[in-house]
Chain A
Amino acid sequence: MFRNGARRDHDSGPAPEALRLVKVTKSYGTADSAVTALDGVTLGLARGTFTAVMGPSGSGKSTLLQCAAGLDRPDSGIVRVDGTELTGGGEAELTKFRRGRIGFVFQQYNLLETLTVAQNTVLPLKLAGRRVDRRRAREILTAVGLGDRLGHRPDQLSGGQRQRVAIARALVTEPRVIFADEPTGALDTRSAREVLRLLQEAVRVHGRTVVMVTHDPVAASYADSVLFLADGRLAGRMDAPTADAVAERLAHLGDDTMAGV
């Protein structure tokens, strides 16, 4: 089902490259009305990095995230998460692939309304049939500043607090890669700052790899590097980004299209 990369045969530790995409292509619709969302994207992200993916609406950001995270299958090309290749198979196989390898943070939080903060956090472990370490879950929730909200339900929390629960839930399974889809899109600036700091911490303190899709230059400036996407292709990369530099680059995106990174 899932082919291990050559390196992993000798070493069971995490692969040095957390995410690898090779010539990934994805289009929607049929025949005449087909829209190419990803057009041969190739990229590699090292372990322990924080990368922002930016681009205008319709540039293929969300498709890139969904293909890389095993939520959707590319039409062609290779996706490798933590050295293991994602191949065909039904939803059940994809789900099992994602468990333990991938964590998610979404703009709309996607917490289950019927569960408390603590229950939402341990849900991925429960579903994966893994041992639930409640003390560890409480530690993580305390670290994101929700140690006193364990018994609350999502509708009793503010947007920023809900997103912090989502981050705790993404951290608890100790995934190789955390994908964040516009994590600050629905938050006020203060809550957004807190959420971005937590994502930074996940990389610097816990050694996770974070990939964040965003259209906000300020959010992108928290990342180690920014990948720009235009019309389904990579259109440049910026290391140690600042909000102003990112905004400037975004404004001129498409003037010069670069292939590959």
Chain B
Amino acid sequence: MFVLALRSIRQRPGRFLATLLSAFLGAAIIMTFNSMHDTAGQPGVDPVSSDTLGTAAGVVGGYGTLLVFFAVASTLTVNVRQRAAELELLRCSGATPAQIKRMVVGEAVAVALVGAALAIGPAMLGGRVLLDMFQDGGQVARSVEYSFGPIALVSGVNITLLAAAGAAFLAVRRVTRRRKERAGARRFLAYGALAAGATGVCSTFLFSATDEMLMAPPAQGAIMLSVGFALLAPRLLKGLLDRLVLSGASGWLAVRNLRQRAGELAGILVSLIMFTAVSTATLTMQAVESDAVAASGLVKSVDAKNLETLNLTVVGIIAVFVCVMLVNSLYAATTYRSREFGQQRLAGATPRQVLGVVGAEGAILTVAGVFFGTMAALAGVVPFTVVRTDGVLPDQFLGTWLAMVSVTAAATLGTSLVTARRVLRTPAVRAVAPAA
């Protein structure tokens, strides 16, 4: 089966591009930060430098592992779903479910291996830049030399491979098995996350303005709230759509499409909500904190600086990954609709009307995602600002928010419209023809 897997990759390298990209980015990030362990482990590194490097590697390394897992799982789920016909054919030709599983996992591992190998060079460069950043900030002594050693290499390759194999296993299981809706468990988790988020946000008020840990509860609270909203996304979207009336044939069709496909689109909404919430909340709070420190005339401690670097790095990583997932799943979802677009065109829709439908759907999704993401972000930002400064809503919020919303809107609308345009190049009659 592994030979079949390799052949399958060679025939259609394009389909694995998203998986390769996720594996590459993930491996690069993990190796970059874990090379700090290697650097800190060298003889003659002072304890403060070693501490800074160790913390950075630990925190971001952990986040990185989770993100690789989610990103690879997301791209592979899409990949496997697109190939449902091929997998069905294999099953009809006598492949057992275990063989199909081995093939998909084999493909994923092969792609992840290539991704990890490609990531070594960029990770070495990235690690050097990161060390420079720490040294420029005075968090690490100038004398420390960069080292890319066994910890970075082994952890990077292993984590990427394990994440890819695990994600592939879950993806293929989800497709080969008829999924049972477990709405109850989902709702329980959602309310749990919302409760945890609310607790986190409220506990901000227990801290005083100068506490080092002040940023942690509202940031985590905002993240938990966004997870809760994300889990409830399909129901929230349905509730919104039942009240929404759009004029014009395209809008009419878009609302009806979304109502029917709310469940499938939940994944995209999850990305939108979490991206908006995490990035807006963290960046705004960091800006408020930096300004407050500057205003008080104090010099930032090494810990505070580390926290800032980490905050920005983590947000950057999350943003890049969520963008990759968003673009990938939107691209796949739109490509998959070729037949539906063909049917719309045969029913009398001009290409512009089809694009109008896609655009309206993207706009509704973006607005819904941004709305719930903003709610979660505000829930974190406002308590933090109230405790840290005298204001309620910081000046930095609007700018950060606008920047994040533009990124979100550009990624969502750009991907779906550009993909739909490409899909529309196939003549309508051929698009609706049953796959040969």
Footprint of B on A, CB under 8 Å?
A: 66, 71-72, 91-92, 95-96, 98-99, 104, 106, 108, 110-115, 119, 123-124, 126-129, 153, 169, 173
Please give, as numbers and ranges, the residues of chain B lying within 8 Å of A129 by CB-CB distance.
249
In the complex the two chains form, what is the Cα distance from A27 to B261 in whole Å? 40
Some 18 contacts from A to B, beta carbons below 8 A apart, are A71-B346, A71-B427, A72-B427, A72-B429, A95-B345, A95-B349, A96-B350, A99-B348, A108-B434, A112-B343, A112-B347, A113-B260, A114-B256, A114-B257, A114-B340, A126-B253, A127-B347, A127-B350
The 3 closest A-B pairs by CB, nearest first: A114-B260, A92-B350, A126-B249
Inter-subunit contact A127/B249 (CB<8 Å): yes
Interface centre among A112, A119, A173 (most CB of B within 10 A): A112
Please give, as numbers and ranges, the residues of chain B lying within 8 Å of A119 by CB-CB distance.
256
Among candidates B253, B343, B348, B429, residue contacting A95 with C-beta atoms closer than 8 Å = B348
Please give, as numbers and ranges, the residues of chain A lying within 8 Å of B261 by CB-CB distance.
114
**Given A71-B428, A114-B256, are A91 and B345 also a contact pair (CB < 8 Å)?**
yes
* Residue B336 interfacial (CB < 8 Å): no
In the complex the two chains form, what is the Cα distance from A153 to B349 in whole Å? 20
Please give, as numbers and ranges, the residues of chain B lying within 8 Å of A114 by CB-CB distance.
256-257, 259-261, 340
* Residue B82 interfacial (CB < 8 Å): no
In the complex the two chains form, what is the Cα distance from A127 to B350 in whole Å? 8
In the complex the two chains form, what is the Cα distance from A104 to B343 in whole Å? 11
**Given A66-B429, A72-B429, A126-B249, are A111 and B343 also a contact pair (CB < 8 Å)?**
yes
* Residue B352 interfacial (CB < 8 Å): yes
Please give, as numbers and ranges, the residues of chain B lying within 8 Å of A98 by CB-CB distance.
348
In the complex the two chains form, what is the Cα distance from A169 to B429 in whole Å? 18
Please give, as numbers and ranges, the residues of chain B lying within 8 Å of A106 by CB-CB distance.
346, 432
Please give, as numbers and ranges, the residues of chain B lying within 8 Å of A66 by CB-CB distance.
429
How far is the CB of A96 from the nearest CB of chain B, in Å? 7
Please give, as numbers and ranges, the residues of chain B lying within 8 Å of A123 by CB-CB distance.
253, 347-348
Please give, as numbers and ranges, the residues of chain A lying within 8 Å of B432 by CB-CB distance.
106, 108, 110
Chain B interface residue count, Cβ-Cβ cutoff 8 angstroms = 27
- B317-358 vs A: 1/0 string, CB under 8 Å? 000000000000000000000001011111111111100000
Inter-subunit contact B350/A110 (CB<8 Å): no
**Given A71-B428, A72-B429, A112-B340, are A124 and B348 also a contact pair (CB < 8 Å)?**
yes
Interface centre among B346, B347, B432, B433 (most CB of A within 10 A): B347
* Residue B2 interfacial (CB < 8 Å): no
How far is the CB of B86 from the nearest CB of chain A, in Å? 21
Please give, as numbers and ranges, the residues of chain A lying within 8 Å of B347 by CB-CB distance.
110, 112, 123-124, 127, 169
Inter-subunit contact A91/B348 (CB<8 Å): no
In the complex the two chains form, what is the Cα distance from A96 to B352 in whole Å? 12
Please give, as numbers and ranges, the residues of chain B lying within 8 Å of A111 by CB-CB distance.
343
Within 227-265 of B, Cβ neighbours of A (below 8 Å) are at 249, 252-253, 256-257, 259-261
- Chain B interface mostly: helix
Please give, as numbers and ranges, the residues of chain A lying within 8 Å of B346 by CB-CB distance.
71, 104, 106, 110
In the complex the two chains form, what is the Cα distance from A95 to B349 in whole Å? 7
How far is the CB of A212 from the nearest CB of chain B, in Å? 16
- B418-436 vs A: 1/0 string, CB under 8 Å? 0000000001110011100
Please give, as numbers and ranges, the residues of chain A lying within 8 Å of B350 by CB-CB distance.
91-92, 95-96, 127
Please give, as numbers and ranges, the residues of chain A lying within 8 Å of B429 by CB-CB distance.
66, 71-72
How far is the CB of B426 from the nearest CB of chain A, in Å? 11
Given A114-B340, A119-B256, A123-B348, 14 more pairs with CB closer than 8 A:
A66-B429, A71-B428, A91-B345, A91-B351, A91-B428, A92-B351, A98-B348, A110-B342, A110-B432, A111-B343, A126-B252, A127-B344, A127-B347, A128-B348
In the complex the two chains form, what is the Cα distance from A114 to B432 in whole Å? 16
How far is the CB of B242 from the nearest CB of chain A, in Å? 15
Please give, as numbers and ranges, the residues of chain B lying within 8 Å of A95 by CB-CB distance.
345, 348-351
Inter-subunit contact B352/A112 (CB<8 Å): no
Please give, as numbers and ranges, the residues of chain A lying within 8 Å of B256 by CB-CB distance.
114-115, 119
How far is the CB of A121 from the nearest CB of chain B, in Å? 10
Please give, as numbers and ranges, the residues of chain A lying within 8 Å of B352 by CB-CB distance.
92
Closest to A119 in B: B256
Closest to A173 in B: B348
Inter-subunit contact B343/A127 (CB<8 Å): no
Please give, as numbers and ranges, the residues of chain A lying within 8 Å of B257 by CB-CB distance.
114
How far is the CB of B169 from the nearest CB of chain A, in Å? 31
How far is the CB of A26 from the nearest CB of chain B, in Å? 13
How far is the CB of A141 from the nearest CB of chain B, in Å? 16
How far is the CB of A86 from the nearest CB of chain B, in Å? 16
Please give, as numbers and ranges, the residues of chain B lying within 8 Å of A126 by CB-CB distance.
249, 252-253
How far is the CB of A37 from the nearest CB of chain B, in Å? 13
How far is the CB of B110 from the nearest CB of chain A, in Å? 36
Closest to A170 in B: B347
How far is the CB of B237 from the nearest CB of chain A, in Å? 14
In the complex the two chains form, what is the Cα distance from A169 to B346 in whole Å? 11
Closest to B250 in A: A127
Please give, as numbers and ranges, the residues of chain A lying within 8 Å of B353 by CB-CB distance.
127
Closest to A65 in B: B429
In the complex the two chains form, what is the Cα distance from A108 to B431 in whole Å? 12
Inter-subunit contact A112/B344 (CB<8 Å): yes
In the complex the two chains form, what is the Cα distance from A248 to B348 in whole Å? 39
How far is the CB of B265 from the nearest CB of chain A, in Å? 12
Inter-subunit contact A127/B349 (CB<8 Å): yes
Inter-subunit contact B348/A127 (CB<8 Å): yes
How far is the CB of B337 from the nearest CB of chain A, in Å? 10
In the complex the two chains form, what is the Cα distance from A66 to B427 in whole Å? 11
How far is the CB of A13 from the nearest CB of chain B, in Å? 23
**Given A123-B347, A124-B348, A127-B249, are A113 and B428 also a contact pair (CB < 8 Å)?**
no
Closest to A109 in B: B343
In the complex the two chains form, what is the Cα distance from A124 to B353 in whole Å? 12
How far is the CB of A188 from the nearest CB of chain B, in Å? 19
Please give, as numbers and ranges, the residues of chain B lying within 8 Å of A71 by CB-CB distance.
346, 427-429
How far is the CB of B374 from the nearest CB of chain A, in Å? 29
How far is the CB of A2 from the nearest CB of chain B, in Å? 15
